Amino acid sequence: MVLKTANRGRVPPFIVMDVMRAANEREAEGERVLHLEVGQPSTGAPALVVERAKAALECERLGYTDALGIPALRQGIAGHYRTAYDIEVDFRRVVVTTGSSGAFILAFLAAFDVGDRVALASPGYPAYRNILKAQGVEVVDLAVGPETNFQPTPEILDSVAGGLDGLIVASPSNPTGTMMGRDDLKSLVAYCADQGIRVVSDEIYHGITYGEAASSALSFTNDALVINSFSKYFSMTGWRLGWMVVPEDLLRPIECLAQNLFISAPSLSQYAAVAAFDCTDELDGHVVRYGRNRALLLDELPKAGFHKLASADGAFYIYADVGQMTNNSQEFCQRMLAETGVAVTPGVDFDPSRGNRYVRFSFAGSSEDMAAAARLLRDWRHVNP
């Protein structure tokens, strides 16, 4: 007898992880790899966070914490909104999570029922779509492009037939690095409030911008679910720690879900992360490096034939239209890795319908690696125009 498997597990893979595995296998064989595929800072956690972790190992009883997180960290996160955005957030609305991934699971479960319709920009972070599908939520892809800086607008939402229950926004965005200006975000939030659309605002790349600072949805509403992470700006990917600021009506449902699904976020990571907000000088230094990497690639990639690039206002990504080179971005990236050692993510990870003609470059690595990758790609494209 064949045993049943659940349909909810039949979601597409997170292709960037497949690319990273192939790159790691190449490295294991002794070949050089330049990692421009994964959105992970090449730096470790801030020095003060590491010191706090060592102290916690000596002094703290590292057991379960409250499902919502330790009070000191929740208060520190609330203080961050006061310092960074001039927003007063009640720390009791802060939920500490097992990475932003845990936050998305909790947010979607608490806010949306099976059969609800949730819109998201395409291209966009693939885990949004896949988590929603696994939960039985209907995903409404919003095909966005350069004309709206790859961001959703009230006009685009107004054109969706059948109504919407939710909208996921990301500014800065993965994979494009594009942002919404303050006025545009305010207008979008107001439209959603008027239409009864619950906003989930992914703000995990806040702090990594190259011009105007990113605005939080919390500046305009207390009804949005706002998600952030210690992985990107705070350079703590492997610590698996994120947070949410949640509306009052969803706080208890999210707490109950967290108790049952996760018990609590890793306690060592929580105790250490209390120090993260005292590390801005070190962390802003990383952003300066990202800015140099960004400028280098924006200058060098066109010399290798990558001419159509998204604006890359924030985060550490450049999204490139390679339609003049290929109609199969996955095969293109495989060939690039095999022939140059440069690992890049195919656009089909982010846009199922049009991603065959796009690729994403991550410039979170060292400046030396970015310069070397640019040289290799330029030479490769001259041989393979």
Q: What is the pLDDT of residue 383?
A: 64
Q: What is the pLDDT of residue 306?
A: 94
Chain segment 143-177, per-residue pLDDT in tens: 999 999 999 999 999 999 889 999 999 999 999 99
Contact 355, 348 (CB under 8 A): yes
Q: What is the pLDDT of residue 22?
A: 85
Q: Rounded to whole angstroms, how far apart are CA atoms 265 and 67? A: 7
Between 86-95, 102-111, 332-341, the lowest mean confidence (pLDDT) is in: 332-341
Where do the domains of the chain lie, and which CATH numbers do they carry?
10-39+280-383 (3.40.640.10), 47-277 (3.40.640.10)
pLDDT band for 235, please (50, 70, 90 cuts): very high
Q: CA dihedral defined by 58, 63, 64, 69, rounded to 10 degrees? A: -10
Q: What is the pLDDT of residue 52?
A: 96
Q: What is the pLDDT of residue 381?
A: 80
> Six-digit token pair at 76?
């520190």
Average pLDDT rounded to a whole number, residues 280-291: 97
- pLDDT above 70 (res 194): yes
Q: Rounded to whole angstroms, how far apart are CA atoms 164 and 166? A: 6
Strands 117-122 and 166-170: parallel
Chain segment 100-135, per-residue pLDDT in tens: 999 999 999 999 999 999 999 999 999 999 999 999
The pTM of this model reads 0.94
Contact 319, 329 (CB under 8 A): no
